[in-house]
A and B are shown apart, each in its own frame.
Chain A
């Protein structure tokens, strides 16, 4: 392909990368600065905020809540989402078209609408707001992410391998375990990692359906930003950004493995 002569695309890309990472860099620098803001000068390297962070009981319990929700919602969503992806992929009737449309709409709908509608729904059922209502909300959007990821993977799945296994006398249990799962597993794992990341990060929906004693990490960050001391958020941000990087790398590796299989 002929190289692009205009410099605009290169400089736009460079500018956007700077735009993406400069704020994160400022946060990272601030997190090692014992002073409050970098504007007040660099006061030497310090792990003070990190020590403060791990000693903060509220942060720890919010983290535990986030992990409980993240793991349980992901586990449930993996089952629902994988089944949904198979249903949509295997059957092409009207019902599955509606199914697909619902999953896609869920991805696109602003969080605030989902938060409000679920809150009103829980209130009308007289359900007590807490970890369980957060779990129900998170499973809903996580299912959508898992289904879409697995569906992308299924599009490369060769169903003739199933036929071949059947012709060779394999039972369904063996086909599922030895033929389907190994081919679909990277998609499912990538979907699960994505769902877990999104669940841990979600703030808006959680904020509407959380109750006393079920503060998650995001809700806690929000309350720290609104009132109180935002300084330890810097340290927390750095940790979360690093975790996100690892997750993104892992998901990317899992999803691109398909190219090697085909080649």
Chain B
């Protein structure tokens, strides 16, 4: 009787959000996968029948180039974010509590500030009439005909700028829990600072590094506004193709195929992460206190 009422209670409190997530998240996501297998009519609408044509088209060299560009831009920006985030986290945990809190807010604010405004701010900085280009020309670092905007490096810069907090926050959280007496122990046993950092600290915060990597890499794969605003057409990423197929050159099944590829990559990554966690469950790690 008690068990039954427990089950009813569980149903009552979990049904609203489960139902909402199923209708507005699960079903739309699964239907994108299904739509990608349908052929398109001449207006780009969904027709009945099944076909793999939408995916075959993605293999064309023009599109493969965009897929590769998306992958390497995301990979490079993730690497830069993590490499920058580790020393920041290392610095932050050594700070006084009040300074730590202040730094944390300063990292969170850009992350919550309107995304378009952050992109706009970079456009203002790098604008042909903007201050940075003006100074760089005066200091003879760049020639007067160099444009700072609309190239792949600016896309990388703005992606790093946008997603850096996503890397810092989980790495900081892991570093905050890290037991620094392990470092002291390493020093006492004769390890150099460098060796202690690479052999003790980095493995100790590996869970934060993995989380940070995923939290930058996955949204970076879906970048669309950044390449559009600061990159121009030569920097198109998969996100731009999806938006173009949906909003401009309407072809719903093809857009779904692109979205499905992105989705599959992400599911693959999350699956890998999950397998890793399961495997790690059976390994003993002294610095995690047995927790995973």
The answer to whether A and B belong to the same complex is yes
Contact indicator A1/B94 (Cβ below 8 Å): yes
Q: How far is the CB of A243 from chain B (nearest CB, A)?
A: 9
Q: Which residues of the other chain, B, contact A105 by a CB distance below 8 angstroms?
A: 270
Contact indicator B259/A86 (Cβ below 8 Å): no
Contact indicator B117/A240 (Cβ below 8 Å): yes
Known: A26-B121, A117-B28, A256-B101. A112 touches B242 (CB 8 A): yes
- B32 nearest CB neighbor, chain A only: A117
- B6 nearest CB neighbor, chain A only: A91
Contact indicator A26/B114 (Cβ below 8 Å): no
Q: How far is the CA of A122 from the CA of B123 in the complex (A)?
A: 34
8 Å CB contact of B13 from A3, A83, A93, A136: A83
Contact indicator A225/B229 (Cβ below 8 Å): yes
Contact indicator A37/B130 (Cβ below 8 Å): yes
Q: In the complex, which residues 66-106 of chain A have their Cβ closer than 8 Å to any Cβ of chain B?
A: 79-81, 83-84, 86-88, 90-91, 93, 95-96, 99, 102-103, 105-106
Contact indicator A12/B29 (Cβ below 8 Å): no
- B29 nearest CB neighbor, chain A only: A117
Contact indicator B17/A80 (Cβ below 8 Å): yes
Contact digits for A95-130, partner B, Cβ 8 Å, 1 yes 0 no: 110010011011011111110111111011000000
Q: Counting CB contacts under 8 A, is A247 at the interface?
A: yes
Q: Counting CB contacts under 8 A, is A19 at the interface?
A: yes
Q: Counting CB contacts under 8 A, is B218 at the interface?
A: yes
How many residues of chain B get a CB closer than 8 Å to chain A's CBs?
84
Contact digits for A197-220, partner B, Cβ 8 Å, 1 yes 0 no: 110110110001000000000100
Contact indicator B24/A140 (Cβ below 8 Å): yes
Q: How far is the CA of A60 from the CA of B279 in the complex (A)?
A: 54
Q: Which residues of the other chain, A, contact B29 by a CB distance below 8 angstroms?
A: 113, 117
Q: How far is the CA of A240 from the CA of B193 in the complex (A)?
A: 43
The total of interchain contacts (Cβ-Cβ below 8 angstroms) comes to 255
Q: Which of A9, A10, A86, A96 has the most CB of B within 10 A?
A: A9
Q: Which of A8, A13, A21 has the most CB of B within 10 A?
A: A13
Q: How far is the CA of A91 from the CA of B101 in the complex (A)?
A: 33
Q: How far is the CA of A240 from the CA of B20 in the complex (A)?
A: 30
Q: Which residues of the other chain, A, contact B107 by a CB distance below 8 angstroms?
A: 20
Q: In the complex, which residues 97-145 of chain B have their Cβ closer than 8 Å to any Cβ of chain A?
A: 101, 103-110, 112-125, 127, 129-131, 133-134
The interface-forming segment of B54-62, B202-210, B220-228, B283-291 is: B220-228
Q: How far is the CA of A23 from the CA of B13 in the complex (A)?
A: 45
8 Å CB contact of A110 from B104, B184, B262: B262
Contact indicator A218/B114 (Cβ below 8 Å): yes
Q: Which residues of the other chain, B, contact A6 by a CB distance below 8 angstroms?
A: 193
The interface-forming segment of A46-54, A154-162, A177-185, A229-237 is: A229-237
Q: Which residues of the other chain, B, contact A79 by a CB distance below 8 angstroms?
A: 16
Contact indicator A36/B225 (Cβ below 8 Å): no
Contact digits for A235-263, partner B, Cβ 8 Å, 1 yes 0 no: 01100110011011100100010000000
User: Can you pick out 16 interface pairs between chain A and chain B where the beta carbons lie within 8 Å of each other?
Assistant: A2-B187, A9-B90, A19-B164, A23-B161, A38-B131, A40-B129, A83-B17, A95-B14, A99-B21, A109-B218, A117-B29, A120-B28, A121-B28, A203-B116, A208-B246, A221-B114
Apart from the given pairs A39-B133, A102-B26, 13 other A-B contacts in the complex at a CB distance below 8 Å: A2-B183, A13-B92, A23-B122, A26-B121, A26-B125, A26-B130, A26-B131, A39-B129, A95-B14, A116-B32, A121-B31, A203-B115, A237-B121
Residues of chain B at the chain A interface (Cβ within 8 Å): 10, 13-14, 16-18, 20-21, 24-29, 31-32, 35, 84, 87-88, 90-92, 94, 101, 103-110, 112-125, 127, 129-131, 133-134, 161, 164, 168, 180, 183-184, 187, 193, 214-215, 218-219, 221-225, 229, 239, 242-243, 246-247, 252, 255-256, 259, 262-263, 266, 270
